[in-house]
């Protein structure tokens, strides 16, 4: 693998204790001589920004740190003082939140509607019951019990909870991209917990090269794509899973049956114009499984790469524009 090619994987998800949520970024030279890099920690995972040397990346470190801390305060289910936790604890009716939290939930509900609830932000109690999240108790209702009206979230009944872990990291990635744009940094590769967004071009004049991880051989590449002006996110069994009786159970729950998504589908990578869309759809399509996932992707014009295990091999299946960016 080239020194300046970056492996796409999914490591962790939004939500840690407030004390551990963020650490100071490091600033240094990336592997390739013409690149500089800053790195840090957020949401129990790492982040990095790589840009051509001379773009003064150090000046954006503080703003990046503040933006990620804000997303954590808004949307982390692990924080009892977050906006989503406050709504979860509240009764039926309208609850005021920031426009950002309302907007992310609105996108989540749009994806839920397109997929018949394969993305469901009310599934937190079930995720918690399988050992992958902090929301306890019985699940009450489903995504149709939530609504958005301006900067307010509506709950049709008390007990409905909100978990945006399957989409909020993509939103945070987009906030990082917006900060770079505001500072006039037009060429960069941004990574947050394995989700990436490429801005402009590599110093060589080509798109940023990103390798999709082989879920059956972690650390190896299953595919390589060129990323320029778009985001890509992957959901699968590699990052958060455990095995019982030879069967792997992952942290992404299929809301239709309340069980962790499992089976022949090993991972889904989604290419989109922004990280929020890529993250949410990757979560939904993985939960949908090897049959319904590609069907939803075709119907909704989502560019995705499905890696499916069959007869001891890993078979790719692509939808939309995904094949156009493969190298």
Nearest-angstrom CA–CA distance, 34 and 54: 9
- Which residues lie across from 305 on neighbouring strands? 269, 318
Instruction: For domain 78-155, give the CATH number.
Output: 1.10.3980.10
- Which residues lie across from 192 on neighbouring strands? 47, 195
What is the model's pLDDT at position 83?
98
Nearest-angstrom CA–CA distance, 25 and 122: 33
Instruction: Report residue 299: phi and psi, to 5°.
Output: -65, -35
**323 CB neighbour count, 10 Å cutoff:** 13
Q: What is the DSSP string of 113-181?
A: HHTTSSS-TT-HHHHHHTTS-S--S---S-GGGEEE-SSEEEESSTT-----TTTHHHHHHHHHHHHHH
The residues, any chain, with a CB within 8 Å of residue 244's CB and separated by 6 or more, are none
CA angle 240, 242, 247 (to 5 degrees): 125
pTM: predicted TM-score of the whole model, two decimal places? 0.88
Query: Using CA atoms in the order 88, 107, 254, 294, what is the torsion angle rounded to 10 degrees?
Result: 180
User: Measuring CA to CA, which residue among 213, 217, 183 is closest to residue 195?
Assistant: 213
> Contact, 261 vs 252, CB < 8 A?
yes
The single residue listed with the structure tokens 């407030």 is 18
The packing angle between helices 168-182 and 275-299, to 10°, is: 130
> Contact, 219 vs 213, CB < 8 A?
yes
> Contact, 118 vs 287, CB < 8 A?
yes
What is the model's pLDDT at position 246?
44
Nearest-angstrom CA–CA distance, 104 and 89: 19
What distances in angstroms separate CA 175 from CA 43, 169, 194, 230, one per listed residue?
14, 10, 16, 14
Sheet containing 6-8: order of strands: 6-8, 208-213, 221-227
Nearest-angstrom CA–CA distance, 54 and 60: 13
Q: What is the pLDDT along the chain (327 residues), one digit of tens a residue?
A: 344 554 544 433 233 222 223 333 554 445 555 899 999 999 989 999 999 998 889 899 999 999 999 999 999 999 999 999 999 999 999 999 999 999 999 999 999 999 999 999 999 999 887 777 789 888 999 999 999 999 999 999 999 999 999 999 999 999 999 999 999 999 999 999 999 999 999 999 999 999 998 888 877 899 999 999 999 999 987 544 333 344 444 567 777 776 777 678 999 999 999 999 999 999 999 999 999 999 999 999 999 999 999 988 999 999 999 999 999
């Amino acid at each position: 693998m080239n020194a300046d090619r970056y492996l796409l994987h999914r490591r962790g998800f939004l939500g840690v204790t407030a004390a551990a949520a963020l650490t100071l970024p490091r600033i240094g030279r990336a592997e390739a001589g013409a690149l500089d890099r800053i790195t840090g920690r957020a949401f129990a995972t790492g982040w990095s920004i790589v840009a051509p040397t001379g773009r003064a990346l150090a000046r954006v470190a503080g703003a990046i740190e503040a933006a990620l801390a804000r997303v954590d305060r808004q949307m982390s289910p692990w924080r009892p003082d977050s906006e989503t936790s406050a709504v979860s604890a509240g009764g039926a009716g309208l609850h005021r939140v920031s426009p950002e939290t309302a907007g992310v939930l609105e996108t989540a509900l749009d994806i839920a509607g397109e997929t018949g609830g394969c993305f469901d932000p009310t599934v937190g109690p079930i995720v918690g019951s399988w050992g992958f999240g902090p929301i306890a108790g019985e699940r009450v209702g489903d995504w149709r019990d939530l609504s958005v009206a301006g900067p307010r979230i509506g709950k049709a009944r008390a007990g409905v909870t909100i978990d945006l872990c399957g989409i909020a990291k993509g939103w945070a990635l987009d906030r990082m991209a917006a900060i770079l744009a505001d500072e006039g940094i037009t060429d960069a590769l941004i990574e947050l917990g394995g989700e990436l967004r490429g801005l402009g071009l590599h110093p060589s004049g080509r798109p940023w090269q990103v390798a999709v991880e082989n879920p059956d051989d972690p650390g190896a590449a299953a595919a390589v794509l060129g990323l320029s002006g778009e985001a890509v996110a992957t959901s699968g069994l590699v990052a958060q899973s455990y095995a019982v009786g030879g069967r792997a159970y992952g942290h992404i729950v299929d809301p239709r049956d309340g069980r962790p998504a499992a089976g022949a589908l090993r991972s889904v990578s989604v290419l989109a114009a922004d990280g929020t869309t890529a993250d949410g759809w990757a979560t939904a399509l993985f939960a949908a499984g090897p049959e319904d996932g590609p069907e939803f992707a075709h119907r909704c014009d989502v560019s995705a790469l499905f890696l499916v295990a069959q007869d001891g091999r890993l078979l790719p299946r692509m939808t939309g524009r995904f094949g156009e960016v493969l190298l």
